[in-house]
Amino acid sequence: MTDQDYMKLALELASKGRGKTSPNPMVGAVVVKDGEIVGKGYHQAAGKAHAEVNALADAGKAAKGATVYVTLEPCSHYGKTPPCTKALIEAGVNKVVAAIKDPNPLVAGKGLRQLAEAGIEVRSGVLEEEAKELNEAFIKYITTEQPFVILKNAMTLDGKIATKTGDAKWISGPESRKYVHRLRDELDGILVGIGTVLADNPRLTTRLPEEKGTDPTRIVLDSKLRIPLDYNLVTQKSEAKTIVATTKEANRQKIDKLEELGVEVLIISADSQGRVDLESLLKELGKLDIVSLLIEGGSQISEAFLFSKLVNKVLYFVAPKIIGGRDAISVVGGRGVNKVADGIIIKNRKISTIGNDILIKGYPEYRG
């Protein structure tokens, strides 16, 4: 097996922690000696032992003189757990191969440097792009202190998310909807606008048929605080909280009532149109350890985030349906651009099928 083969296995191990490690990254590690895998481990949950420590424990005495493949540079600082560099040095490993250097300013090359100073051979950059994609949310969060924003929409072949009457159930198929609930289980937060809340009275919980999922933190954009006190997002029981983001114009008595019912109300500065300022909101969500955020709003929310250049990734589910109608609701609302050349390009696309639907994943490329 090659370095790439061992690192691929480490990445597969890391992905087992998906949805459980936030605000930490997903990390996997493999210990190899004389061409044989003698230890494996991954970071299972925030606050628990890191991947390297688990892999070294699995290897036992065989770790001495071995090579350790790890998907992220070993940490060199004390946090909730001791530094992994210390464990690697004490285990007597000969070499450490990291996929990427840790973007965390507390580490940022210090881990590999400590290992090298201890006489351990170090290397980085093996399957670097794959490792960056695995932890794209963590990388954005740790370098900007803001969540990684994913915009998800389900639309017809003619780009509609609802008919002229507002009916939208169901555009995507059951397989796509299950995929989205799996996403909810893995991500920290889910955001909608008050328009979606008033129209659908959603729960925004995670519902998986084969297991109990983890509910994401629910965030509602509601600049005028119109959310009814008897709606699901206010009254339902969930281990995750509901946050309503509003402005200083909101009614103080309504704020008090919502807080009495367990809803957290964030007062965010308003933009030029009196709406919640989105960039200010993302900064506040970052302070709450919201590392990844799924936008599930309607056409106006999509337009607001996209044309504020705040979306990091898009997921478009395209159903093999045509509903037509000039008054049907398009996937992105607002004013749009004047010229096709000014449109947002989606790069690094991945296209797959889920049931009868087509899923397009990609990353917006903003102009100017």
Q: Is 46 annotated as a binding residue?
A: no
CA–CA gap between residue 242 and residue 210 (Å, rounded): 25
Q: Is 302 annotated as a binding residue?
A: yes
Q: Is 90 annotated as a binding residue?
A: no
Q: Is 109 annotated as a binding residue?
A: no
Q: Is 299 annotated as a binding residue?
A: yes
Question: Which of 70-92 are b and which e, b meaning 16 or more Cβ less than 10 Å from the residue's Cβ?
Answer: bbbbbbbeeeeeebbbbbbbebe
Q: Is 300 annotated as a binding residue?
A: yes
Q: Is 355 annotated as a binding residue?
A: no
CA–CA gap between residue 98 and residue 179 (Å, rounded): 31
Q: Is 303 annotated as a binding residue?
A: yes
CA–CA gap between residue 46 and residue 146 (Å, rounded): 19
Nearest to 243 by CA among 199, 289, 312: 289
Are the C-beta atoms of residues 185 and 213 closer than 8 Å to each other?
Answer: yes
What does 34-63 look like in DSSP terms, one character per residue? Answer: TTEEEEEEE--STTS--HHHHHHHHHGGGG
Q: Is 170 annotated as a binding residue?
A: yes
Q: Is 117 annotated as a binding residue?
A: no
Residue 78, strand partner residues:
none
Q: Is 298 annotated as a binding residue?
A: yes
CA 95 to chain centre: 32
Annotated catalytic residues are 52
Question: Which of 128-140 are b and which e, b meaning 16 or more Cβ less than 10 Å from the residue's Cβ?
Answer: eeebeebbbbbbb
Nearest to 193 by CA among 168, 161, 163, 218: 218
- Kindly give the residue spans of alpha helices, DSSP state H, lying in the chain: 3-14, 51-59, 84-91, 110-117, 128-134, 136-144, 174-186, 194-200, 232-235, 252-260, 278-287, 299-306
Q: Is 158 annotated as a binding residue?
A: no
* Angle between helices 3-14 and 51-59 in degrees, nearest 10: 110
Q: Is 172 annotated as a binding residue?
A: no
Nearest to 74 by CA among 44, 99, 91: 99
Residue list for the binding site = 50, 75, 84, 154, 170, 184, 196, 200, 204, 207, 223, 296, 298-304
Residue list for the binding site for Zn(2+) = 50, 75, 84
Residue list for the binding site for NADP(+) = 154, 170, 196, 200, 223, 298-304
